[in-house]
Structure 1
Amino acid sequence: MPSQPPASLVVDGPLPDQLAMGLVVIRYRAENLRIVPVYGPAALDVSPRIGHIHVTVDDAPWHWADGSGDPLIIQGLPPGPHKVLVQLADPTHKVIDSKTVDLVITTQGGHH
């Protein structure tokens, strides 16, 4: 659909106080594309354009797809540096745009 502006992904980094509790909350939005859980080649003709995201944590060999549009919530990561790759994809899983969020899970201090 050449008449539509290109789709892009906007990702906000997690908040430090949430990271200190071991909780990663990543808010994101797509521009010029609606995030919905619709997949397959027939959905390529929908206007305005639709898609979903792929999420990969720490270069894992697998990812998950999400079409909710809700913030990503990741728990259970050990303390230390991590990265979360968020990819904007069309209904056939072709990646349109991507952003990487680098973060550090800290341990809560003051407990002796």
Structure 2
Amino acid sequence: MDPSWSPAPVVPLASQPPPALVVDQPLPDQLAKGLVVIRYRAENLRIVPVYGPNALDVSPRIGHIHVTVDDAPWHWADASGEPLIIQGLPAGPHRVWIGLADPTHMILDSKTLDFVIPAR
């Protein structure tokens, strides 16, 4: 079996490795246009829009991400699994924090990206 494939999400797993978040730096060509595009993926967790304590029993494990921009006191949740697209940030340095969360919003892993939007 190819180790890069995830288990089929149709059978409960007896044990699961810990979830992990993999995040790419923003795409440089897009940053030059003032657009932040961040690709990410979850390992050992499927990103789906299902929430609440009963969803903790789903196997293989499910969850979503939380995103905070520039250390704001608030964040948003996303369960699309699609790249993050952020626009309208001014030129200069920025920080994006991405947290991998379980269905009850407990953070399982996180990554922080620092980048600069160049002046145009």
The TM-score normalised by the length of structure 1 is 0.93
- The answer for the alignment partner of 2:92 in structure 1 is 80
The RMSD of aligned alpha carbons is: 1.2
1:45 aligns with 2:57: yes
Map 1:1-112 onto structure 2 (within 5 A): 3-108=15-120
Deviation, 1:17, is 1.4
| Amino acid of the structure 2 residue aligned with 1:89 | A
Name the SS of the counterpart of 2:29 in structure 1: helix
Describe the SS at the equivalent of 2:21. Answer: strand
Following TM superposition, by how much is the alpha carbon of 1:16 offset from its aligned partner in structure 2, in angstroms? 1.4
State whether residues 26 and 72 of structure 1, in contact with CA within 8 Å, keep that contact through their aligned partners in structure 2: yes
Aligned length, in residue pairs: 108
Q: Which runs of 4+ in 1 moved over 3 A?
A: none
Identity of aligned residues (%): 80
Q: CA deviation at 1:18?
A: 0.7
Residue deviations 1:52-93 (CA, integer Å, cap 9, x gap)? 000000000000000000000000000000000000000000
